Amino acid sequence: INILAIESSCDETSAAVIKDGRIYSNFIANQTVHEQYGGVVPELASRAHQENIVPVVDQALKTAGIATSDLTAIAFTQSPGLIGSLLVGSCFAKAMALALNLPLIAVQHMDAHVMANFIEAPTPAFPFLCLTVSGGHTQIVLCKDYLHMEIIGKTLDDAAGEAFDKSAKLLGLPYPGGPLIDKYAQLGNAHRFKFTEPQIPGLDFSFSGLKTGILYFLQENLQKDPLFIEHHLHDICASIQERIVSILLNKLRKAAQETGVRQIGIAGGVSANSGLRKAILAMGAAQGWQVFIPKFEYCTDNAAMIAITAHYKYLAGEFVGLDVVPSPRT
Ligand code: ATP
Ligand code: MG
Ligand code: FE
Q: For residue range 244-266, list pLDDT tens digits in order.
A: 999 999 999 999 999 999 999 99
Cβ neighbours for 135, distance < 8 A, ≥ 6 positions apart: 10, 159, 161, 162, 165, 176, 268, 269
pTM: 0.96
pLDDT of residue 37: 85
Q: Does the beta carbon of 269 sit less than 6 angstroms from any atom of ligand 1?
A: yes
Indicate the helix (H) or strand (E) that contains 259. helix 228-259
Q: What single string gives the DSSP state of each residue in 159-221?
A: -HHHHHHHHHHHTTPPSS-HHHHHHHHTTS-TTSS--PPP---TT-B--HHHHHHHHHHHHHH
pLDDT of residue 33: 85
Residue type at 39? Answer: G
134 is in an annotated binding site: yes
Give the ligand 1 atom nearest the CA of 162: 18
Report the largest interatomic distance among the alpha carbons of the chain, rounded to a whole angstrom: 68
pLDDT of residue 160: 98
CA dist 79 and 227 (Å) reads 43
Q: Nearest-CA neighbor of 49 among 94, 100, 14?
A: 14
User: Best of 138, 300, 305, 306 to mutate for ligand 1, by most ligand atoms within 8 A of CB?
Assistant: 300
Give the ligand 1 atom nearest the CA of 275: 28
Alpha carbon nearest to ligand 1 atom 15, residue: 135
pLDDT of residue 270: 98
Q: Does the beta carbon of 294 sit less than 6 angstroms from any atom of ligand 1?
A: no
CA dist 304 and 146 (Å) reads 15
Cα end-to-end span (Å), the chain: 27
Ligand 1 centroid to residue 161 C-alpha, Å: 5
Let me know: does 181 contact 235? Beta carbons within 8 Å.
no
Edge-to-edge strand list for the sheet holding 148-154: 148-154, 138-145, 128-133, 263-267, 290-292
Ligand 1 centroid to residue 97 C-alpha, Å: 30
135 is in an annotated binding site: yes
User: Best of 8, 134, 247 to mutate for ligand 1, by most ligand atoms within 8 A of CB?
Assistant: 134
CA dist 85 and 162 (Å) reads 20
Q: In this prediction, what percent of the chain has a pLDDT beyond 90?
A: 96
pLDDT of residue 34: 86
Q: In this prediction, what percent of the chain has a pLDDT beyond 70?
A: 100
CA dist 7 and 313 (Å) reads 16
CA dist 152 and 128 (Å) reads 12
Alpha carbon nearest to ligand 1 atom 5, residue: 135
Q: Does the beta carbon of 306 sit less than 6 angstroms from any atom of ligand 1?
A: no
Give the ligand 1 atom nearest the CA of 272: 27
User: Best of 242, 270, 274, 278 to mutate for ligand 1, by most ligand atoms within 8 A of CB?
Assistant: 270
Q: Does the beta carbon of 300 sit less than 6 angstroms from any atom of ligand 1?
A: yes
Q: Does the beta carbon of 10 sit less than 6 angstroms from any atom of ligand 1?
A: yes
232 φ/ψ angles, rounded to the nearest 5 degrees: -125, 20
Q: Does the beta carbon of 301 sit less than 6 angstroms from any atom of ligand 1?
A: yes
pLDDT of residue 208: 95
Q: Does the beta carbon of 268 sit less than 6 angstroms from any atom of ligand 1?
A: yes
Ligand 3 centroid to residue 180 C-alpha, Å: 18
Alpha carbon nearest to ligand 1 atom 1, residue: 136
Q: Nearest-CA neighbor of 267 among 63, 130, 95?
A: 130
Query: Which residues of the chain fall short of a pLDDT of 70?
Result: none
Indicate the helix (H) or strand (E) that contains 79. strand 73-79
pLDDT of residue 38: 83
Secondary structure of residue 292 in the 3-state scheme: strand
